[in-house]
């Protein structure tokens, strides 16, 4: 009989402990974020989607050499008369499907500020494999453009919303 009451008392005590924890957190402010309309701002050391600024790039190719997954390719401009290379990129391409976000390309970039860097964007929208390859040319937007093989032209990636364009919480 004593064992029975001991069992009931220990069960009731465990129930009250759980209820106390629940009541303690019931009155604390919510830490969740309404995701589609609001996003959390990642830490400064976060490595998101790789971005390129072709205006700052000197087309040295050190980022492509440092990349272990060989997902970066670029070509420097050529002067039409002298046929010498100009330290500006003609185009810069990055395959986000092969990138492992190691940051070696950013570390190898000699320009100040860096012409290639990892943004704070932690999501990207791709509907097919071709959209994973981003291309930058002078005058292209910061997110780059995607080659459309049907139209034989570049198009802006659909559904790509930057963290900087959304309401964020620190």
Of all residues in the chain, what percent are helix, strand and coil, respectively (each to 5)?
Answer: 25, 25, 50
Q: Where does the pLDDT of residue 170 fall: very low under 50, low under 70, confident under 90, or very high at 90 and above? A: very low
pLDDT over threshold 60, residue 166: no
Neighbour-count burial of 81, counting CB atoms closer than 10 A to its CB (0-12 exposed, 13-18 middle, 19+ buried)? exposed
Q: Where does the pLDDT of residue 161 fall: very low under 50, low under 70, confident under 90, or very high at 90 and above? A: low
pLDDT digits (tens, 9 = 90+) for 131-155: 888 888 888 877 778 887 778 888 8
pLDDT digits (tens, 9 = 90+) for 19-77: 999 999 888 887 788 877 777 778 888 888 888 888 888 999 999 999 999 999 998 88
pLDDT digits (tens, 9 = 90+) for 63-91: 999 999 999 999 888 888 888 888 888 88
Q: Which fold has domain 39-169?
A: Alpha-Beta Plaits (3.30.70)
pLDDT over threshold 70, residue 165: no
Distances (CA, A) of 109 to 66, 104, 170: 9, 9, 29
What's the rounded Cα separation, in Å, for the pair 63 and 74?
Answer: 10
Write down the pLDDT at residue 79. Answer: 86
List 72's β-bridge partners, or say none: 94
Q: Where does the pLDDT of residue 160 fall: very low under 50, low under 70, confident under 90, or very high at 90 and above? A: low
pLDDT over threshold 50, residue 7: yes
Model pTM score: 0.68
Domain residue ranges of the chain, discontinuous segments joined by +: 2-31, 39-169
């Amino acid at each position: 009989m004593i064992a029975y009451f001991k069992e009931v008392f220990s069960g009731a005590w465990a129930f009250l402990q759980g209820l106390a924890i629940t009541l303690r957190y019931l009155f604390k402010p919510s830490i969740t974020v309404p995701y589609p309309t609001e996003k959390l701002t990642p830490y400064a050391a976060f490595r998101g989607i790789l971005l390129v600024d072709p205006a700052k790039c000197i087309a040295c190719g050190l980022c492509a050499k440092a990349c272990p997954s060989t997902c970066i390719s670029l070509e420097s401009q050529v002067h039409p008369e002298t046929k010498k290379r100009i330290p500006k990129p003609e185009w810069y391409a990055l395959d986000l499907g092969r990138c492992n976000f190691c940051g070696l390309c950013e570390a190898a970039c000699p320009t100040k500020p860096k012409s290639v860097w990892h943004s704070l964007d932690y999501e990207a929208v791709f509907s097919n494999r071709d959209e994973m390859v981003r291309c930058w040319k002078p005058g292209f937007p910061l997110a780059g453009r995607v080659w459309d093989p049907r139209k034989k032209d570049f198009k802006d990636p659909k559904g790509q919303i930057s963290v900087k364009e959304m309401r964020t919480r620190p």
